[in-house]
Structure 1
Amino acid sequence: MSSSIARRFWVSGASSGLGLTLVEQLLEQGAQVAASGKRCEALRSLTEQYPQRLLLLDGNLTEPFTAQQAAKQIADRWGALECLIINAGTCDYLALGTPAPAMFESIINSNLSASRHCLENALPLLRHGRSPQVVGIFSRYSSLQLGDPSQPLTSDNSVIQLLNGQRTALTTQGIDLTIIAPKSLNHPQTPVPVALQQWTARSAAQAILERLPERPANLVLEALQQNNLWPLPK
């Protein structure tokens, strides 16, 4: 791992797809990683392989107390963070059999809550880190606006706006913000057309980690098959 890449990470949505692959690749590169998400066999196996560098944080981050306890475990283990990766593509805690319309509303709502709680509780740890960075990664599911799309985007109806609204405050604290999302028609991240690509979790994770040291404000991730990166609950 390059010396310019952060060493202590907190990754949410880490039990499958892109989140899990980010954890795997960061560990392969020598990072210390706190992984939030439902416990699964893949994470348990990684814990056996990297017992000193992987911290599993089980629990639903939409609950404020769970996020507080997760941050406390990180503080007790490492004392600081260099990077918070909010992988807000889907939701690990949807009830089985949730109808499609309710599923997408739940994905937006849960990611709004979890992202807010993660950021609030990670800030003290990031302020103690070296060149800290917050990274928000969003899918077509989670980047949708909650409620009436004709209404202005706010921190209460858009998880991307929730983070964008914190950009100035983060900058004043020496914390960079990178938002990775599909291209928005209302708020385009780049004037250059971006084609849909057949990303896999591995290729997308590799591309993201290669770009993070550059600390771009925005990156566009257009995935042809969303389920390859953010599997929906079955």
Structure 2
Amino acid sequence: MRLRCLFLACAILAWLPARPAHADDPAGFSSDVNVAIRVTEHYWSTKIVGFRPISRIIPYTADGEVLCGLQPIPAQNAAYCPIGDFIAYDAHWSEQVYDEMGDAFVFYLLGHEYGHGIQQRLGIQYTFTIYQELQADCFAGAMIGDSIRTGDLTLETGDLQELKAGLFSVGDPPDEPWFQEGAHGSPAQRTASFFGGYDQGLTACDLPTSAPPA
């Protein structure tokens, strides 16, 4: 089984009811992580009969501190591990990005990785990693978009442009082949997959098996 990593280097938008962290509010990040987990689990519980939440959400602070089987999870990262059914994230890195960019980071971060857990539960396994990653982006978009439509999250003015800019910045470099192991998708592909889910819900998240569009 391949380790599904996000490799996200910047955050994107601001959400309510989550609040940005400040020096006088040290619990802001951990509180928003808990909110993101609750919102994500509530969403999937309404979509999957007999839904089983991911077993553990594990923060770590050092490179290789957490293993997925025999594979160490690197620093400045987040990953879903099917061996043990857990999500692990670099707490120091995640909180730093959260403080600098805004509290929405945890919703996309956990939404994407939770998407890999949903793939595991539904038995979805594409031949190429790019499809796994683009579908996880779509699942995250559907979770966030549908949660806004049901009132579980509130969108602020300007958030969508910030979100698009953030997604565009985390795509694969132009010279990376789409079929390469570990490919996540170009900036345009990741943005399109996320906003397909955001606008249309889960109906947008069934991906083809041929080469993805440029």
TM-score normalized by structure 2?
A: 0.33
Instruction: Give the structure with the larger helix fraction.
Output: 2
- Tell which has more relative contact order, 1 or 2 (C-alpha 8 A, sep 6+): 2
TM-score normalized by structure 1?
A: 0.31
